[in-house]
């Protein structure tokens, strides 16, 4: 069976944290008879060096063999070859942004526990690591075991955030965790629409329209596919207006905009004047004429630069 899903763990040397994550993820897949995943790890430096014996020992105690692991350095191509990119610490996320312009990597703990915290390297937490072998070994054992124990939660989170919509399209028909059926409301050659289970109180729908192929960002969607999506939105909007006075179209594009599922999707929310839904919830401070003109000029330059 050809892998349909893929994950890459990234740390600094690729001999400790990302190695433990790769081995633990593979072990979890095997133990649960889960197929169709490609799993690997890499380091942003990956200077040739042996894996610490304590790392190998701890992996072995947990039922894994890291002795045949080969270091590899992270490349731009890897970021395009894998769907889910996981940095073990903040500096790995920052490196991928600054070196490769890659903005879609998650912290390991962010996926596993919902906390944007790092799993730090040995020298970050054992200040006298050069002379404190016991402290180093305790740090290694604790970190490897912690990574191993968090893998089930990370697997569930990554599966939902990256593959929930793909699973719908591929025929896994139940909404995860609750058994509600996936029902196609509208379909074009490149898009599909269905109802979310997150329905506003006292309303009769909250429809999602998505491209059949997964794109992280709106800017990645080809015009032909986007035209299919917009045609579906128009059709559904006309249908909703039979019983409603209007509807909102929402797109959460990017982490800072609240995007949770990493598959671009448009929300269509039917509206009534008394439904209690608040969409425009930001403050409107007064802006001076000079600042208004300056901001327009700045945006115009930016738009021309990306055209």
pLDDT tens string 98-125? 999 999 999 999 999 999 999 999 999 9
pLDDT at res. 123? 95
pLDDT at res. 279? 79
Global pTM value: 0.88
Separation of alpha carbons 120 and 103, rounded Å: 21
pLDDT tens string 65-98? 999 999 999 999 999 999 999 999 999 999 999 9
Q: Which helix (H) or strand (E) holds 77?
A: helix 76-81
* Residues contacting residue 213 through CB under 8 Å, at least 6 positions apart: 190, 225
Report the alpha-carbon angle 111-116-119, nearest 5. Answer: 85
Domains belonging to the chain, first-starting first, are: 5-169 (3.40.50.2300), 184-271 (3.30.428.10)
Share of the chain above pLDDT 70, in %: 95
Helices (H), 115-222: 122-125, 133-169
Contact (Cβ atoms closer than 8 angstroms) between residue 221 and residue 211? yes
Separation of alpha carbons 248 and 196, rounded Å: 15
Give yes or no for residue 290 having a pLDDT over 90. yes
Give yes or no for residue 287 having a pLDDT over 70. yes
Separation of alpha carbons 203 and 196, rounded Å: 12
Helices (H), 32-68: 53-61
Report residue 307's pLDDT band, with 50, 70 and 90 as the boundaries.
confident
Here the tokens at position 248 are 């909102």
Report residue 277's pLDDT band, with 50, 70 and 90 as the boundaries.
confident
Separation of alpha carbons 287 and 293, rounded Å: 10
Contact (Cβ atoms closer than 8 angstroms) between residue 20 and residue 43? no
pLDDT at res. 281? 75
Here the tokens at position 125 are 């937490």
pLDDT at res. 180? 83
Separation of alpha carbons 135 and 60, rounded Å: 20
Which residue's structure tokens are 């992996």? Answer: 59
Separation of alpha carbons 119 and 107, rounded Å: 9
pLDDT at res. 179? 76
pLDDT tens string 138-157? 999 999 999 999 999 999 99
**Which residues on neighbouring strands pair with residue 193, listed in sequence order?**
186, 209
* Residues contacting residue 283 through CB under 8 Å, at least 6 positions apart: none
């Amino acid at each position: 069976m050809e892998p349909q899903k893929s994950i890459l763990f990234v740390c600094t040397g690729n001999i400790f944290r990302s190695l433990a994550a790769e081995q633990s993820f593979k072990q979890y897949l095997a133990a649960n008879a889960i197929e169709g995943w490609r799993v690997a790890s890499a380091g942003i430096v990956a200077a040739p060096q042996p894996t610490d014996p304590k790392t190998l020992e701890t992996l072995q105690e947990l039922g894994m063999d890291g002795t045949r692991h080969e270091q590899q350095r992270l490349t731009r191509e890897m970021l395009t070859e894998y769907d889910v990119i996981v940095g073990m610490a903040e500096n790995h996320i920052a490196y991928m942004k600054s070196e490769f312009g890659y903005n879609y990597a998650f912290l390991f703990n962010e996926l596993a526990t919902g906390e944007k915290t790092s799993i730090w390297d040995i020298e970050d937490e054992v200040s006298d690591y050069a002379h404190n072998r016991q402290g180093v070994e305790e740090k290694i054992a604790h970190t490897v075991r912690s990574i191993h124990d968090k893998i089930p939660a990370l697997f569930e989170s990554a599966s939902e955030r990256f593959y929930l919509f793909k699973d719908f399209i591929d025929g896994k028909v139940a909404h995860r965790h609750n058994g509600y059926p996936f029902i196609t409301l509208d379909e074009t050659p490149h898009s599909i629409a269905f109802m979310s289970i997150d329905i506003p109180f006292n309303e009769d729908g909250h429809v999602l329209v998505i491209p059949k192929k997964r794109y992280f960002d709106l800017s990645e969607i080809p015009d032909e596919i986007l035209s299919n999506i917009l045609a579906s939105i128009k059709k559904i909007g006309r249908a909703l207006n039979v019983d409603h006075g209007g509807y909102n179209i929402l797109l959460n594009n990017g982490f800072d905009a609240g995007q949770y599922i990493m598959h671009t999707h448009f929300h269509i929310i039917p509206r009534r004047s008394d439904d209690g839904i608040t969409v425009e919830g930001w403050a409107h401070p007064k802006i001076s004429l000079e600042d208004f003109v300056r901001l327009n000029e700045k945006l115009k330059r930016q738009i021309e630069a990306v055209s």
